[in-house]
Amino acid sequence: MPLTAIVLTLDAARHVEECLGTLGWADERVVLDGGSRDGTRALALRAGARVHTRAFDTFARQRSYALALARGDWVFFVDADERVCAELAAEVRAGVADTTHRGLWVPRRNIILGGWVRHGGWYPDHQLRVLRRGYARYDERRPVHEVPSVAGSTGYVSAELLHLNYERLPDLWRKQWRYARQEALGLCWRAVPARPHSFVLQPAREFQRRYLALGGWRDGWRGLLLATAMAAATLATYCFLAQMQCDPRRARGAARPDPDATEERVAPRR
């Protein structure tokens, strides 16, 4: 079965070439760029990928748009800061050749600030990334942490996807701030109210869940830092949600229709 590897990018010049280099086994490699300003698209073209551009609004919409770009019967979504080993490539190949399932869950190993984080909900961090086209769709009411709905059964592979996540402390805060806005947008679209107690209870629950219930304390200072960051991001989410509910224009502006997209010519292989 032909398989398309899809990489979503936004200012990913640090990672995109190495990521695409681990996807050479795929029948097609597609990069959907959200409007990078750091040369990501040129690097992806040089690596031999087919590159499209669509202004980023939500993760769910980006993935839905990318699904339509693929020419293969199957797609494998990989983020630019992820790496696919030979064992995972072989398992994915075998999985798509088996007609039993319409999707495959892939375990992910998160390397955060230079170390493997094993607790706090960070491992094995299964992601539904291998999808049979025509059987999967993304719910646009969940603009971030999106999980596709699959019409049919799903299976699991055992080889891990390596995630070079939050390599530097500013990366952690920047991404969580961005995710908080997206999460607030989804809550707003689903008419979830920002009640006064949410600003205290929700962050506290997130810290308790990450650090105590899921054993984040076992990861030492990384576990404490991540639990604190997730709690802070939860607080930011409800702050953004309150802003959107006080000024509905903030939510309506983010819910704009799909913008025009472009395809860039593939650079010849050297």
Do 73 and 133 share a structural domain? Answer: yes
CATH code of 132's domain: 3.90.550.10
Within a domain: 14:
yes
Do 239 and 161 share a structural domain? Answer: no
Do 92 and 185 share a structural domain? Answer: no
Do 19 and 43 share a structural domain? Answer: yes
Do 146 and 57 share a structural domain? Answer: yes
Do 185 and 89 share a structural domain? Answer: no
Do 149 and 25 share a structural domain? Answer: yes
Give the chain's domain count.
2
Say if CB 76 and CB 5 are below 8 A apart: yes
Do 141 and 15 share a structural domain? Answer: yes
Going residue by residue through the chain (270 aa), what tens digit of pLDDT does each one get? 699 999 999 999 999 999 999 999 999 999 999 999 999 999 999 999 999 999 998 899 999 999 999 999 999 999 999 999 999 999 999 999 988 999 999 999 999 999 999 999 999 999 999 999 999 999 887 878 888 999 999 999 999 999 999 999 999 999 999 999 999 998 998 889 999 999 999 999 999 999 999 999 999 999 999 999 999 999 999 999 999 988 776 665 554 433 334 444 333 332
pTM: 0.88
Within a domain: 16:
yes
Cis-peptide, bond into residue 124, ω within 30° of zero:
yes
pLDDT at position 257? 35
Do 125 and 248 share a structural domain? Answer: no
Query: Residues 234, 237, 239, 245: is their CA dihedral positive or negative?
Result: negative
What's the rounded Cα separation, in Å, for the pair 145 and 109?
A: 17
Do 137 and 95 share a structural domain? Answer: yes
Do 120 and 189 share a structural domain? Answer: no
Containing structural domain, residue 190 = 169-254
Nearest-5° Cα angle at 5, 37 to 104 = 125
Per-residue tokens: 143:
């603009």
* C-alpha torsion 161→234→62→110, nearest 10: -10
What does the chain look like in DSSP terms, one character per residue? --EEEEEEESS-TTTHHHHHHTTTTSSEEEEEES--SSSHHHHHHHTT-EEEE---S-HHHHHHHHHHH--SSEEEEEETTEEE-HHHHHHHHHHHHSTT-SEEEE-EEEEETTEE--STT-SS--EEEEEETTSEE--TT--SS---EESS-EEE--SPEEEEE--SHHHHHHHHHHHHHHHHHHHHHTT----TTHHHHHHHHHHIIIIIIT-GGGGHHHHHHHHHHHHHHHHHHHHHHHHHHH-THHHHHHTPPPPP-EEEPPPPP-
CA 142 to each of CA 27, 60, 114, 146, 181: distance values in angstroms, whole numbers, following the listed order:
30, 7, 30, 6, 12
Do 61 and 99 share a structural domain? Answer: yes
